[in-house]
Amino acid sequence: MKEVTKRSIFRWIHIVFGIPIIGYIYSPFEQLPNYAPTVRYVAIPVMMLSGLWMWKGHVLRRLVSRRSAVTNNTTGTKTEQ
């Protein structure tokens, strides 16, 4: 999968899971208990993870690729880059 496609998918996930937060903020006070569990336990964690991935995903990908390269070098299956 291309990086542009991945970025677009994470961007849309971030936008879609932001919609319940807007509903939570602008809903009448009496309806807050209906939105609270969904926003607290689903929307906010997904938004945080997708935002962090969009912001610092390149660092995580670099760490994962280095670890796999080191693992493969110890087994002798990967050649020098």
* pLDDT tens-digit readout, 49-81: 999 999 998 888 888 887 777 777 666 555 555
- The whole domain housing 32 covers 3-75
pLDDT of residue 61: 82
Specify if 81 maps to a domain: no
Residue 11, pLDDT > 90, answer: yes
Domain count, the chain: 1
Specify if 58 maps to a domain: yes
Specify if 54 maps to a domain: yes
Q: What is the pLDDT of residues 13-29, one digit of tens each?
A: 999 999 988 888 898 88
pTM check: above 0.75: no
pLDDT of residue 79: 55
- Output the 3-class SS for the chain: CCHHHHHHHHHHHHHHCCHHHHHHHHCCHHHHHHHHHHHHHHHHHHHHHHHHHHHHHHHHHHHHHHHHHHHHHHHCCCCCC
